Amino acid sequence: MSALAPIPFIDLRPGEDEAAVRAAIHRVLGRGWFVLGPEVEAFEHEFAAASGAAFAIGVGNGTDAIALALRALAIGPGDEVIVPAMTAGYTALAVIAAGATPVIVDVEPDTLTMNANACAAAVTTRTRAIVPVHLYGQAADMDAIRSVAARHSLAIVEDCCQAHLATENGVAIGTRSDAAAFSFYPTKNLGGLGDGGAVITDNDAIASRIRQLRNGGQRERGHHVEAGVNSRLDDLQAAVLRARLPLLAERTIMRRSLAARYRQLLPASLRTIRERDPGHVYHLFPVLTPERASLQAHLSAHGIETMVHYPAALTTQPAFAAFASHECPVAVAAAGQLLSLPLSPRLTDEDVVRVAESVSAFVKGHRPA
């Protein structure tokens, strides 16, 4: 075992933001308003501005953000929604929560984001929406996906849960679609101290409908005009997110810098995810290798923690076996090879050098004779 200090995959304890986070929590405790209060309202305005949208609506988590956006677009039972095979299962679960049917399609081999041609081939007379995922912090090929949506009059709800402040051709993600969903789970680029999420949109009617749906379908207190859900961002999380939002731009710069160092230092023979757009915000930095288990064990022995995102394509998971899907060989193959290296604003350049050197040593030792 290496005598060097371990490099964790992520450290979720407050760091340089600790004083601001503690002050935010005490502010909420002192006010005594914990759900849909002034902190939530203020955060919604601030996050909308940071995201380039007219409206942000805080909800309980990123899954609910997708589901409620779909419901606000009147998508539900009998409707099909196209999702990519390489994503967290929650993307498809959100479609199911909305009452619709997820249709799973393959991804591009170099970015692992939704393949627009596969998306187009999956459209049927029941298709109502597309949910592209900005995987690992990089925008999907939205020009191509928007073209598919326009040809078939489909709605688009972007899954931005890993892509806070990402851009696509210089434009903020989520601002050229019907709505976009974000997660504030603690591991995200903008994370709270628990679950949380938001929907952004420029459409006032969609925003109003989501506000109603998230609060039990109430138009006014005690008057439920539809069967909504209980999915409300709480003021403690909103206050913490307000404390951290001003740091997000600088932390995003740090993520990009660390990712650039990985690309510079990792062996050329090791496959990485192509950076298609400089607006990539590097929520994760995965590599692909058929010797994943051995590489992970090698790095662990050297004090370097890694994780797998994601170990199985949606098409191979029992939870989605009953739903229509298409052949997804790219996603299935990638799922068996992906390994995420440490990448967070707390890493130093020395940490990245050490990880890259350890990876290089492994690759050199496993190079065919």
Whether residue 2 has pLDDT greater than 50? no
Q: Given this model, what pLDDT does residue 324 score?
A: 66
pLDDT in tens, 131-181: 999 999 999 999 999 999 999 999 999 999 999 999 999 999 999 999 999
pLDDT in tens, 97-142: 999 999 999 999 999 999 999 999 999 999 999 999 999 999 999 9
Does residue 310 have a cis bond before it (omega within 30 degrees)?
Answer: yes
All domains in the chain, ordered by first residue: 18-104+113-246 (3.40.640.10), 248-365 (3.90.1150.10)
CA distances from 169 to 72, 189, 275, 283 (A): 28, 20, 12, 18
Containing H/E element for 129? strand 127-130
Whether residue 5 has pLDDT greater than 70? yes
pTM of the model: 0.96
Residue 50: CB atoms within 10 Å: 18
- 59 HSE (CA, 13 A, CB side): 35
Selected residue with higher pLDDT from 97 and 325: 97
Q: Report how far residue 332's alpha carbon sits from residue 106's, in angstroms, rounded to the nearest whole number.
A: 9
Containing H/E element for 96? helix 90-97
Whether residue 368 has pLDDT greater than 80? no
Q: Per-residue pLDDT averaged across 222-235, rounded? A: 95
Average model confidence (pLDDT) for the chain? 96
Return all residues near 195 (Cβ < 8 A) that are at least 6 apart.
60, 61, 184, 185, 237
Residue with tokens 């991804």: 107
- Cβ pair 173, 158 in contact under 8 A: yes
